[in-house]
Amino acid sequence: MTKADLVDLIYERVGSSKKEACEVVEAVFAIIKDSLRQGEKVKVSGFGTFLVNQKHARRGRNPQTGEPITIDSRRVLSFKASQVLKDRVNNGAKSGPEMNGGSDLDPEPEE
Q: What is the pLDDT of residue 103?
A: 42
Report how far residue 13's alpha carbon sits from residue 19's, in angstroms, rounded to the nearest whole number: 14
Give per-residue pLDDT as tens, 87-108. Answer: 999 987 665 554 444 444 444 4
Segments forming the whole domain that contains residue 10: 1-39
Residues 19 and 53 in one domain: no
Report how far residue 71's alpha carbon sits from residue 57's, in angstroms, rounded to the nearest whole number: 5
Residues 89 and 45 in one domain: yes
Kindly report whether the global pTM for this prediction surpasses the value 0.85: no
9 close to 17: Cβ distance less than 8 angstroms? no
Secondary-structure breakdown of the chain: helix, strand, coil percentages, each rounded to the nearest 5: 40, 25, 35
Give per-residue pLDDT as tens, 45-74. Answer: 999 999 999 999 999 999 999 999 999 999
The count of structural domains within the chain is: 2
Give per-residue pLDDT as tens, 13-54. Answer: 998 899 999 999 999 999 999 999 999 999 999 999 999 999
The three-state secondary structure class of 88 is helix
